[in-house]
Amino acid sequence: MGKKGKAGTPPEKPKSRGGRNYVKTGGRAGAPDGNRFAAKFKTTEERQAAFSTYCAHIAKGYSDASFHNPCTVRTIMQMLKDFPEEFDDEALAIAKAKGIFRWEQIGRLGALGKVSNFNAASWIFNVKNRLGWKDKTEVGFDKDTRTVFRLNMGKSLAPATPDERK
């Protein structure tokens, strides 16, 4: 926006560059909001092709982070946000399911001895990081075990004696 004028005078008008008024909005400089001058994929067909390549990448079991051709995952996510009507959510969900299936299939075949030189520790580490799997932690309670604490205020704590546990 223009600078504030003295009391009672209107603010200055923004300066024009090449016939367009470039007004800073939200503290940012540059082109007007909503422009697509720098968009990598300008047509629906280009965006669809990039999305299909991304889905094929994910379906092979690769991660988002390793996607790099024809763009990065950041560009794909921005396209999904900007043009949701152009993309099939189900196609992406199927690609993700296929990628998970691929890793599970490797683990299953490895456990059955059908993958030569299968490294179970490496596979476990990979799926824990890639798929968010975690070791199962069981917290239980044994009703036959009883713990009794004797609390003496101001004195040292000592374990309860066998007579106190009854």
Q: Is residue 154 part of a domain?
A: no
Phi, psi of 159 (to 5 degrees): -60, 150
Mean pLDDT for 98-116 is 96
What's the pTM value of the predicted model, to 2 decimals?
Answer: 0.61
For residues 164 and 158, is the Cβ–Cβ distance under 8 A?
no
Question: How many helices (DSSP H) and strands (DSSP E) are in the chain?
Answer: 5, 2
- Structural domains in the chain (count): 1
pLDDT confidence of residue 7: 65
Read off the pLDDT of residues 145-161 as tens digits, 9 standing for 90 and up. 766 666 656 555 566 66
Q: Is residue 61 part of a domain?
A: yes
Mean pLDDT for 93-110 is 96
pLDDT confidence of residue 49: 96
For residues 31 and 22, is the Cβ–Cβ distance under 8 A?
yes
Q: Is residue 11 part of a domain?
A: no
Q: Environment class of residue 100 by beta-carbon count within 10 Å: exposed (0-12), middle (13-18) or buried (19+)?
A: middle
pLDDT confidence of residue 136: 77
